[in-house]
């Protein structure tokens, strides 16, 4: 692992991984390919541990000639593929971009790596690895009594987003079995932490509460998710890159199952404590139940015993400490928040997604 191509490295998880890998491994070089669509921002790449080992390239993973050039020019031996359209609500409003980026983009990367690593024999001289970052949403929804998702749980995606990620997972797995491309896949639970685009639940609640805006709660708010701190996620991916077995899939989760309402309650309690002068205390009074998302999955839970057993990884962040660290980061980084929220597309999306919902009936 010398020259890493990180796709989507200006987004939330990708940028956190770039920060992490440059600090964790002082010899790697990172080529960061990102289209800088709405959720990607160069703000996320400020203050990197060693900028001399990082090169940013603005471009589309569907651009085969660009991907080919980067692989050859930089002798890429490792691809960590984060780039994806990832918001379920956006996939409901416009699924076409999800099919293009998540399926066609992944195919383009796989084909380019197959050409360079296998057909041109680059992999004869050094180990190579294609790591595909995916989601627990490909498994569908769990009933209250169901056991957590395992790596061999059958796929049952329920949204255009999760269906597109499921398709990309199948492509990656097929390239291992059909062509012998050295791949690994990870399916993670809901991530949270610094630099998350503020359309997602946790940053949206933090920032709305600070300004006294309604805290939109889908349906009854009792949907259950497993929450994974992004730093833990980065460490898990690094463990897979170092010791994971080609062709294998690993579940990554935070070992918790709160309801969305419990998450919002904890965030509000932290803001009550950290901003005692706020005129909106108690912040939990700002919650407003709105019409639920169509086909909203009720419960996710992850069985992470495989990665614990085989690679020795487990999450370090408890949910309470992780939420505190996250709230404090948003409070301490108002310039980042301002830069992100000034994007016109962000404001237009909030209006499109939330204004039309109205209060839950």
Neighbours of 202 (CB within 10 A): 24
- Quote the CA–CA distance of 319 and 224 in Å, as a whole number: 14
Catalytic residue among 34, 60, 137, 297: 137
What tokens appear for 43 in the block?
């703000």
Please say whether the beta carbons of 145 and 254 come within 8 A: no
3-class DSSP assignment, residue 106? helix
Give catalytic status of residue 238 as yes or no. no
Give catalytic status of residue 272 as yes or no. no
What tokens appear for 83 in the block?
């780039």
What are the strands, taking DSSP E only, across 142-286?
183-188, 190-192, 215-218, 227-229, 249-252
Local structure of residue 292 (DSSP, 8 states): P
Give catalytic status of residue 137 as yes or no. yes
Which residues is 78 bridged to in the sheet? 4, 129
Local structure of residue 279 (DSSP, 8 states): T
Taking Cα atoms as reference points, which of 288, 328, 297 lies closest to residue 190?
297
Peptide bond into 282 cis (omega under 30): yes
Which residues, 6+ apart, have CB-to-CB distance to 329 below 8 Å?
193, 194
Catalytic residue among 38, 107, 161, 192: 161
Catalytic residue among 34, 85, 89, 136: 136
- By annotation, the residues acting in catalysis are 136-137, 161
């Amino acid at each position: 692992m010398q020259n890493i191509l990180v796709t989507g490295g200006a987004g939330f998880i990708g940028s956190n991984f770039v920060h992490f890998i440059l600090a964790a491994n002082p010899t790697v070089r990172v080529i960061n390919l990102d289209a800088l669509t709405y959720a990607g921002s160069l703000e996320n790449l400020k203050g990197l541990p060693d900028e001399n080992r990082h090169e940013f390239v603005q471009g589309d993973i569907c651009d085969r000639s660009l991907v080919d050039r980067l692989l050859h020019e930089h002798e890429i031996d490792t691809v960590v593929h984060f780039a994806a359209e990832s918001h379920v609500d956006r996939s409901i409003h416009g699924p076409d971009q999800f099919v293009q980026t998540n399926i066609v983009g992944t195919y383009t990367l796989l084909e380019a790596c197959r050409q360079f690593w296998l057909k041109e024999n680059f992999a004869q001289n050094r180990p190579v690895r294609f790591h595909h970052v995916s989601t627990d949403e490909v498994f569908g929804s769990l009933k209250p009594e169901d056991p957590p998702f395992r790596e061999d749980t059958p796929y049952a995606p329920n949204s255009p987003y999760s269906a597109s990620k499921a398709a990309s997972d199948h492509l990656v797995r097929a390239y291992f079995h059909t062509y012998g491309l050295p791949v690994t896949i990870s399916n993670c639970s809901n991530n949270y932490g610094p630099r998350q685009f503020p359309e997602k639940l946790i940053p949206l609640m933090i920032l709305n509460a600070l300004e006294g805006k309604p805290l939109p709660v889908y349906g009854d708010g009792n949907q259950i998710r497993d929450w994974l701190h992004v730093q833990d996620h980065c460490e898990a991916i690094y463990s897979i890159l170092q010791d994971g077995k080609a062709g294998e899939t690993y579940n990554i989760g935070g070992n918790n199952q709160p309801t969305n309402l419990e998450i919002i309650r904890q965030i509000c309690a932290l803001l009550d404590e950290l901003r005692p002068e706020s005129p909106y205390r108690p912040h939990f009074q700002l919650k407003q139940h709105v019409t639920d998302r169509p086909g909203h999955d009720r419960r996710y839970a992850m069985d992470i015993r495989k990665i614990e057993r085989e690679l020795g990884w487990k999450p370090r962040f408890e949910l309470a400490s992780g939420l505190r660290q996250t709230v404090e980061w948003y409070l301490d980084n108002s310039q980042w928040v301002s830069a992100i929220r000034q994007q016109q597309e962000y404001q237009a999306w909030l209006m499109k997604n939330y204004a039309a919902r109205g209060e839950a009936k």
